[in-house]
Amino acid sequence: MWIRSMRSRLLAVTNSELEKLILERTAELQKLSQRLLNVRDEERRKLARDLHDSTGQTLAALKMSLSLLQEDCRAEPARLAMVSDVAQLADQAIEEIRTMSYLLHPPLLDEVGFACAAEWYIEGFAKRSGINVTANITPSPKRLSKSTEIALFRVLQESLTNVHRHSGASDASIHFKHEAEAVILEIRDFGSGIPEERLRCLEGVSAETGVGLAGMRERLRELNGRLEIESDGGGTSMRATVPLYHSAASVEDCRQLGKSARA
């Protein structure tokens, strides 16, 4: 009896230590995952800025030189046609660089916040994809925290990309609203829906979940938010909920850090 009791105690202690170790490792993995997301966001911002300020300016200079060359070729129609073709390619490259830069990190997100950036992105997505998107975006009474705005924007991007790639829908809707204690972003398509077995896999945590969906969940988890997926034969709904108290806390944390730095 005494030996059996000692074994039970040792087993209980071992299990407790294992559980503690698992919780510690899980927390470390979540921190690492969030750090990787933050690094990726910063790299996107840097790449967007470099494309606009460096490559974009080089192409703009090329376009000005081509305009001068066109003036010199007025008397030679054949050469003028060739130069005009090159000028059209330069215009196309400038537009593609501008679009790529904005998709990586839209300046509107930093300048005026999520609502305006979301409306701009939705309009561009509808033009590029041919999908009719109805948007109902409620402007924020005050700016959300930077981390909240980035998370919501990335959820919007990833969700609409999935609508375009997988849903087969010709129509979709976006709703963004404020409640007393949270902001809610819902992206719904009116396509074929997700098969029940596949939906169960997406609701869990597995390799089949996909990098995009895992990234969305990790961003929202860091904000104490959640991501919900609903699907049936009439389409799929992706709903992201972020508590406002986190946003307020984040802003206050930044202010306190700023005061400490100045002190």
What one-letter code names the amino acid at 41? Answer: D
The pLDDT tens digits of the residues spanning 142-180 come to 888 888 998 999 899 889 988 998 888 899 999 999 988
pLDDT score, position 221: 85
Q: What is the pTM of this model?
A: 0.68
The pLDDT tens digits of the residues spanning 95-120 come to 888 778 777 777 888 888 899 999 98
- Best CATH choice for the domain 109-250 from the list 3.30.2350.10, 3.30.565.10, 3.40.50.300, 1.10.1740.10: 3.30.565.10
pLDDT score, position 203: 66
Percent of the chain topping pLDDT 90: 19
Going from N- to C-terminal start, the domains of the chain cover: 1-105, 109-250
Instruction: Confirm if 225 and 243 have CB atoms less than 8 A apart.
Output: yes
Q: How far apart are CA 136 and CA 177, in angstroms?
A: 8
Q: How far apart are CA 183 and CA 142, in angstroms?
A: 12
